[in-house]
Amino acid sequence: MKRQRVTSVLLLQSAVLLLWSMVLGMPGDASASQSVQEQFPVSKGVQYKDIRLSNGSGEQAVRVTAIDTSRTDTSVEVGFPDGLNKLLTTTSLVMNYHRNDHRVVSAVNASFYHTVPRIPMYLISKDNKLTFAGQQVSSNQNSYVNEPIAFGMNRHGKGMIDDYHLTLNYTYQGKKHKMISANKPRTEDGVTLYTSAFHGNTTQTNQYGMEVVVKTDEKPALTFGSSYQGTVTAVRQYGDTDSADIPENGFVLSAHRKAMGPLDNMEKGDNVSFNVDIDNKWKGSSFMLTSGPMLVKDGHVNLSMNPNSWRARLKAPRTAVAIDESGDTVFFITADGRQSGYAAGMTLSQFAKYAVRLGADRALNLDGGGSTTMDIRYPGYDTVQVANRPSDGRQRGVISALMAVSTSDKPYYLYTDVNRDDTHADGIEWLTKQGIQGYEDGSYGVGKILNRPHAAIMFTNVQNLERPDASAVTDYFKDIEADDLYASYIAAVGQAGIFNGSDGNYMPEKQLTRQQMASTLVSAFDLEKKGDDVDINLSNVAPSHKENVQTLANLGITNQLDDFRPNEPVTRGQFATFLYQSQQN
């Protein structure tokens, strides 16, 4: 199927999206010219724009999704592969979360990650539980992530970008000791916690450390604010090449070299506990995801890394997440780069300035470069597709993604001119699934008059009619040539007896009237009258079509009983509904 490209402007009945349409008129650089390539509502509460900027520093290609999370049927969520130990493209990753009652309508790549081993670099939490503690944040101001800053959705359902302090301690004989991380490859000269959430039954560590296995009464869930106490059941000594087994109900303390001291005295039967906690502002959050640097704070550019470092000054593809002051609007932002003549890429300062222009109160940089990916559900499609141009020419595998999710039972604008609540939406959606698309501008043309060649295409696709060679069309119609654009489709409906023409002519330039449509539907679907005739006004229906219009009324395919309007041309939307209802009888 050919992807729809959307250029028409739609206004949503939402104050946040009104603000969105206003701020997108302002480029990130006062000297830049801006053009909107396409824009459309992705679902109720989610709006997308594809923007081009041009200034002295080169061409830019920016994509932005604005998500109104104040709606009960719209949310922002985090997604990652099972086990957090493999890379998937953003598109394939989010499909693991897509279902009928939980539709992913937009997504961007998220966390920085290690390629060996394939794991995230920094903290990820979900449902107020520590999913992955990650490595310690570097204090190097030339590093992207040099402060513990996360994006997430807090317990009030609002987007939040703020710092945090993770507490991860174990206690033995009344003394607390700090752990470096949890459920990741063991950290040098630190203590790492392992629970059964780790990908594997053992700690998978080498002999250069020691490990203590502790059994608890319950499975540690790593919920923020929780503590778990247990009894030592095994001690793996330094030099032992067999890594420790991780109990389902329990945990393992794995200490590397310099951090082994407190574990040296532990013996079977000793009591050991650990606790995990986070700042109160993050308690109850649906998820947290650490990244950096901070780009915008309190509505102003505020880089949390050295803006003069080579990483900050590099023009590259970029990905960011941002929030407005209320926290109700979340923005996914990508800028393509490294593609001459199309997109130069942005420095972090340029990227931050553009986020400010979008109305961001806070913005956080995510993994960029070749990983930068913006996924969007285009009109007429159920699932997301890549909207930007990744600099590698293809999607890279990533470790996590941020997703805009709709839980509405009718979440999509099927096309730019068709809402799922519209009169003809069911028929148009059904036709779309049969491979019958709308126009290149992303509209279906619901109110446009249906031309007769397009009617032939629809009948052919819906009924899976055999399409004879185009040359066969002259066997049925005198006014159609074999080299006419839709000759094979017109031949198909002629061969099936759906269209008989007038004096041997198909009359492709003529409009299809509603009474003519009734006759074609009866022929195409072999519709038969059932029971007594419904009382319908047939006074203005041509004699040759009266029986067929009566059949549509009897079957409930039309409810225009007082006046069928037989001589009016049928619209594309009406025809979609008539086709849909006819095939159900």
Q: Are residues 512 and 368 in the same domain?
A: no
**Per DSSP, what are the bridge partners of residue 65?**
48, 332
Q: Which helix (DSSP H) or strand (DSSP E) does residue 430 occupy?
A: helix 425-433
Domain limits for position 194: 167-277
Residue 468 lies in a domain: yes
Nearest to 38 by CA among 403, 376, 321: 376
Q: Are residues 264 and 314 in the same domain?
A: no
Residue 4 lies in a domain: no
Determine which of 116-130, 384-398, 418-432, 507-521 has the lowest per-residue pLDDT on average: 418-432
pLDDT in tens, 169-223: 999 999 999 999 999 889 899 999 999 988 889 999 999 999 999 999 999 999 9
Average model confidence (pLDDT) for the chain?
91
Residue 413: pLDDT band with limits 50, 70, 90: confident
pLDDT in tens, 18-66: 444 444 444 445 456 889 998 888 998 999 999 999 876 679 999 999 9
Q: Are residues 519 and 479 in the same domain?
A: yes
* Domain end among 349, 374, 406: 406
Residues, the chain: 585
**Per DSSP, what are the bridge partners of residue 430?**
none
Sign for the pseudo-dihedral over CA of 438, 62, 356, 113 = positive
φ and ψ at 87, to 5 degrees? -105, 135
Q: Are residues 456 and 362 in the same domain?
A: no
> Structural domain tally of the chain?
3
The answer to whether the beta carbons of residues 521 and 499 sit under 8 Å apart is no
Q: What mean pLDDT do residues 375-389 have?
A: 91
Tokens at 93, concatenated: 């990753």
This prediction's pTM: 0.78
* The pLDDT of residue 57: 64
Q: Are residues 389 and 492 in the same domain?
A: no
Residue 412: pLDDT band with limits 50, 70, 90: confident
pLDDT reading at 16 higher than 80: no
Q: Are residues 354 and 321 in the same domain?
A: yes
Tokens at 150, concatenated: 């996360």
Gap between the Cα atoms of 383 and 111, Å rounded: 22
Residue 5 lies in a domain: no
pLDDT reading at 379 higher than 90: no
Greatest alpha-carbon pair distance for the chain in Å reads: 102
Strand, helix or coil for residue 251: strand
Q: Are residues 293 and 235 in the same domain?
A: no
Residue 162 lies in a domain: no
* Domain end among 250, 277, 304: 277
pLDDT in tens, 251-302: 999 999 999 999 999 999 999 999 999 999 999 999 999 999 999 999 999 9
Residue 7 lies in a domain: no
Residue 397 lies in a domain: yes
Tokens at 453, concatenated: 């060649």
Listed as own residue / partner, the contacts of 18-26 with beta carbons closer than 8 Å and 24 or more positions apart are 19/324, 19/329, 19/359, 20/47, 20/66, 20/329, 20/359, 23/357, 23/358, 23/359, 24/49, 24/51, 24/64, 24/358, 26/357
The answer to whether the beta carbons of residues 77 and 405 sit under 8 Å apart is yes
* Domain end among 225, 248, 277: 277
Per-residue three-class SS string for 376-428:
ECCCCCCCCEECCCCCCCCCCEECCEEEEEECCCCCCEEECCEECCCCCHHHH
Strand, helix or coil for residue 271: strand
Q: Which helix (DSSP H) or strand (DSSP E) does residue 542 occupy?
A: none
Gap between the Cα atoms of 278 and 225, Å rounded: 7
